[in-house]
Amino acid sequence: MLGDLNDLLALYVRESDPAPATVKHCENVMALFQRETQCTQVGEVTHELLLQWKALLKSRAAEATVNSYLRALRTLFNLADKRGLLETNPFQHVSYVPEYTRLKHTAEHVDILSLLSMIRQYPDENRPSWFWEAVLKTLYYTGMRRRQLVAMTWADVDFRHERILLRAEGSKTRREWHIPMTAEVVQALLVVKDKTLGKLEVGQVAAIRQLQVFNITLFNPDYAGKQMFPEQVTGYFKRASLRYKVKISPHRFRHTFATQAANRGGQNLRHLQRMLGHTSLKTTLGYVESDTESMREMINGGIRGL
C-alpha cells in the first residue's frame, strides 16, 4: 500500500515517463489538492473528499480547468489501482464537469496595435522593448504556444528557407514540424540574434545554435537564472495588459492567429492544422467562426421573402 501522495506521483513519473510539462502540471495539481484539502496520505483520499474539492474548483475555475485538474489526479489513482496498491479507487463515480463550446478568446486587433505602440513608446517599462516586440510578433504571426516559444533554439531557426522547426520537446503532442516565417518574424528574430551575439564572449559565439532564441535573462537583470520559462512570457503579458488596459495573453495570440486563418477556409484549413500541430482537423475547425454579415448575405440571397 502507498502512503504519501507524493509517493504516488513519483510512482507515476517513474513508470509512465510522461512529458516534462505533464509532470509539472501533475506536481502543481497535487500541491494544490494537498493545500486545499489538508490531505497528504493516499488512504485519506475518499470519494466524498474528491466531490467536495470538485465543487470548490467549480466555484472559481472554468469547466476545462476543473476537468484538467481532475484528470491529472485520476491518472495517478488509476495507476495505483491497476498496480493493486489501493483497496478501492476513490475516483469511481467522480464525473467530469460538462464542458460548453464557447467562442475562442481572441485579442482585438486594436489591442495588439495598442500594446505594440506602448512597447515602443515606453521602453523603460518594457525592458528591452525590442525583445518583447519580437515575442509579440512571433506569437502573432506563427500561432505557436508559449512553451514552443521558449523551447526554440537558434538551431531551429532556418533563415535561408525562412522557417522554424517546432521540436518535439516543446510540443504538446511530442511531434515536431516546420512552420514558415513571415518577413516580420524574420526581421524581429534577426534583431534578437544580433543582440544575443553582442552578449556572448568570443569563445561562446560558436555555441549559439544551442542557446534559446528568447532568453530574457540575458537582457534584463530583473529576471534571475540562466534561461527563460513559459511562465515569464505569461507574466509579462499579464502585467502589460493591466498597465495598458488591453486583453492580451500568449494563448489569445494563438487563438487570434488560428481564428483569422481558419476563416479563410478551403485548403488553408489543412495548412492551419499543420501549423498549429493539431492531430485532428476537428480541433482546427473549432476556430472557424462565420461572421454575422456572411450569414445575413446567405439568408438574403437564398431565402424567399414573405
- Give the SS3 label for residue 21: helix
Segment 165-176 mean pLDDT: 79
How does pLDDT run across 225-246, given as a tens digit for each residue? 999 999 999 999 999 999 999 9
Say yes or no to pLDDT of 148 above 80: yes
Task: Give the pLDDT of residue 65.
Answer: 92
Cα(155)–Cα(194) distance, integer angstroms: 15
Task: Give the pLDDT of residue 4.
Answer: 87
Task: Give the pLDDT of residue 201.
Answer: 81
Task: Give percent above pLDDT 90 in the chain.
Answer: 60
Residue type, 267: Q
Task: Give the pLDDT of residue 59.
Answer: 95
Task: Give the pLDDT of residue 1.
Answer: 54
CB 228, CB 131: distance < 8 Å: no
Nearest to 166 by CA among 204, 227, 213, 134: 213
Cα(265)–Cα(90) distance, integer angstroms: 46
Say yes or no to pLDDT of 290 above 80: no
| Cα angle for residues 70, 75, 77 (degrees, 5° grid) | 95
Segment 147-165 mean pLDDT: 95
227 vs 293, more confident: 227
* 122-136, 148-162, 269-283: segment of lowest average pLDDT: 269-283
Residues with Cβ < 8 Å from 10, sequence gap 6 or more? Answer: none
Segment 94-116 mean pLDDT: 87
286 vs 25, more confident: 25
Q: Name the CA dihedral angle for 146, 147, 153, 155, rounded to a multiple of 10 degrees.
A: -100
CB 136, CB 130: distance < 8 Å: no
Question: How does the average pLDDT of the chain come out, rounded?
Answer: 88
Task: Give the pLDDT of residue 3.
Answer: 79
Cα(123)–Cα(110) distance, integer angstroms: 20
**Sign of the alpha-carbon dihedral angle for 99, 103, 109, 110:** negative
How does pLDDT run across 245-270, given as a tens digit for each residue? 999 999 899 888 888 887 765 557 77
Cα(271)–Cα(240) distance, integer angstroms: 32
Cα(163)–Cα(152) distance, integer angstroms: 12
Segment 49-76 mean pLDDT: 94
Say yes or no to pLDDT of 223 above 80: yes
- Give the SS3 label for residue 159: coil
Task: Give the pLDDT of residue 266.
Answer: 55
Nearest to 178 by CA among 191, 165, 160: 165
Cell numbers that stand for 18 in this block: 510522461
Task: Give percent above pLDDT 70 in the chain.
Answer: 92
**Helices (DSSP H) in the chain: which residue ranges?**
5-16, 20-37, 47-58, 63-82, 109-121, 129-142, 146-151, 183-199, 230-244, 250-262, 268-276, 281-285, 292-302
Say yes or no to pLDDT of 295 above 90: no
How does pLDDT run across 7-39, given as a tens digit for each residue? 999 999 999 988 888 898 999 999 999 999 999
